[in-house]
Amino acid sequence: MSPVTAASPTLDRDLLLKAAQERLLRSEWSRVQLRSFQGGALQSALKHAVNASPYYRETIGDRLAQGAALKDLPVLTKRALMENFDRIVTDPRLSRQLVEGHLGGQSSGSLLLGEYRAVATGGTTGERGVAVFDPAAWLSAIANMVRFQAIVGIDETTRSVAIFASSPVHISYHIGVELRALRPPAPRFNVLMPIEEIVEGLNLNQPEVISTYPSFVRVLVGEQQAGRLKIRPRLFRTSAETLTEEVRELAAETWQAAIADSYVCTEAGPMGHECLLGDGLHLAEDSFVFEVVDGDDRPVPDGVEGAKLLVTTLANRALPLVRYEISDIVAMATEPCRCGLPFWRIGSIAGRREETLRLPRRGGGTVNVHAHRLRSPLTGAAGVRQFQFVQLPDGLEIAIAVFEGADAAAVHAAVELGVRAALEAVEAEPAEFRVRVVDAIARSGGGAKQKLVVSGGD
């Protein structure tokens, strides 16, 4: 079989920079100006969805005609999006079968029908999804990223490299293609390459900025501490996995480098980014409407963790998303950021609902424990390079990979002792509990992410 054709940038450089500059100017607006702009864009997006999409015409048309507010409209899950894809898209030439066929073919890196950027995700949920961006939506998506990068000091002269997915079906791959076209020439990396090749390339390139997954920052820390990697980046940009304070501290201790996290959803595109203060993710409210809700889709106050985040897109006319459900457990900030940006922020992301472990409770019954509650014994244990929670039918397994030269038995003992204490603190008493040392924990899906939680059958 012939190899998949690599993607090329599709956006005109001058047009992209102009769009990014327009968004940078919005960053200087007052919050009142921003909310006014967002409100007008929302009404336009909803009107278009009802007029052009059979699905939305049937599900929200009458409600909007009667003056219903956004919060009164139905939620769209990933499963509903996939089941109704052909009726949600507004171009009758598009269908889920066509998109999936394109993504599964040898030209998945090219534009579908000569105009649509198609991407797919298995995500943390393991449930496959596909999405398309029309030309204006793709321009908006990349311009949002360029805007937020400019806010943290990245421009067209910055020596920058990205280490993300290797598959041209994944959105991070295509974002990287577009951004590389703006910057000085740099080597192409992906997280599935041999680490020796990545280390050699980084040593030769000496990037100022590295964009990658939080879990891969930990890998690079190990290489730097071992003396094989010899770089001096000033900034890391992370995405797609939950960023922990432990990873921030490792970057600061190893390189005196800051980390600015970004927030990207395959179906919606780049949605937010931290400023250099690192005090929450500023949300692109000129391109999206965000709602944090509880398990019954009721809004929760700022500062309170919701059960999910709902996103309404304002730019993608080909695939409108109205109150699209993302299973991140987030809490909005309670006050404006000291940096002065008008965009409200996600104050914290605890992880995904799918990262919740169901374990036997001491004394009977079960208890739900989010995996992030059990991370401290792992992130604090010297020698741990990677870790993953494995949900067993009646218990828990923790797989760990250790750094070269570490005493695996000592690391194993420290992790087991620490996690047992953490389990006891939340009244969890798994019938089966074990820690297993492995050579490495494989990355999964087209995005090559490292899953925090898998089932015993994965």
Please indicate, yes or no, whether residues 277 and 395 belong to a single structural domain of this protein.
no
Give the count of domains, the chain. Answer: 2
pTM of the model: 0.80
Residue 329: inside a domain: no
pLDDT of residue 1: 37
Tokens 């992130």 label which residue? 379
Could you count the other beta carbons within 10 Å of the beta carbon of residue 245? 10
In terms of domains, do 391 and 269 share one? Answer: no
Residue (of 281, 332, 295, 287) closest to 311 by Cα position: 287
Residue 297 lies in a domain: no
Residue 186 and residue 249 share a domain = yes
Q: Are residues 341 and 413 in the same domain?
A: no
Per residue of the chain (458 residues), what is the pLDDT tens digit?
Answer: 344 556 788 999 999 999 999 999 999 999 999 999 999 999 999 999 999 999 999 999 999 999 999 999 999 998 899 999 999 999 999 999 999 889 888 888 899 999 999 998 865 444 668 899 999 999 999 999 999 999 999 999 999 999 987 777 888 889 988 998 998 888 888 887 889 999 999 999 999 999 998 888 988 998 999 999 999 999 999 988 778 888 899 999 999 999 999 999 999 999 999 999 989 999 999 999 999 999 999 999 999 999 999 999 999 999 999 999 998 889 999 999 999 999 999 998 876 666 777 888 888 888 877 666 676 677 656 677 777 888 888 888 888 888 777 788 888 888 888 888 888 888 888 888 998 898 877 765 555 566 777 777 54
Q: Do 276 and 368 reside in the same domain of the chain?
A: no
Bridging pattern class, strands 235-238 and 209-212:
parallel
Region class of 428: left (phi > 0), else alpha (psi between -120 and 50), else beta: beta
What is the Cα–Cα distance from 146 to 408, expressed in whole angstroms?
43
Residue 296 covered by a domain: no
Residue whose token pair is 């943290």: 152
DSSP state of 170: S
317 within domain boundaries: yes
Report the alpha-carbon angle 391-164-279, nearest 5: 80
Query: Three-state SS for 73?
Result: coil
Are residue 236 and residue 112 in the same domain, yes or no?
yes
Ordered strands of the 324-326 beta sheet: 288-293, 308-313, 324-326
169 shares its domain with 32:
yes
The verdict on 142 and 227 lying in the same domain is yes
Both 122 and 197 in a single domain? Answer: yes
Token output for 281: 């993710």
Which two three-digit tokens encode residue 154? 């990245």
For residue 379, the model assigns a pLDDT of 60
Who contacts 318 (Cβ-Cβ below 8 Å, separation ≥6)? 89, 90, 91, 94, 116, 132, 133, 134, 137
**Strand, helix or coil at 283?**
strand
Whether 444 is covered by a domain: the verdict is: yes
Does one domain contain both 343 and 421?
no
> Is 356 inside any structural domain?
no
My answer on whether 15 and 135 are in the same domain is yes
In this prediction, residue 215 carries a pLDDT of 83
Residue 343 sits in the same domain as residue 382: no
> Structure tokens of 230?
């010899």
Give the Cα separation of 195 and 198 in Å (integer). 5
Rounded distance, CA 117 to CA 318, Å?
11
Residue 325 and residue 293 in contact, taking contact as beta carbons nearer than 8 Å:
no
CATH number of the domain to which 429 belongs = 3.30.300.30
CA dist list (Å): 367 to 256, 361, 370: 40, 5, 10
Amino acid at 254: T
With beta carbons less than 8 A apart as the criterion, state whether 115 and 337 touch: no
**Residue 74's domain is classified under what CATH number?**
3.40.50.12780
Could you list the residue range(s) of the whole structural domain that residue 136 is in?
Answer: 1-291+312-321+335-350
In a domain, 355, yes or no: no
Residue 256: what residue type? Q
The answer to the question of residue 5 being in a domain is yes
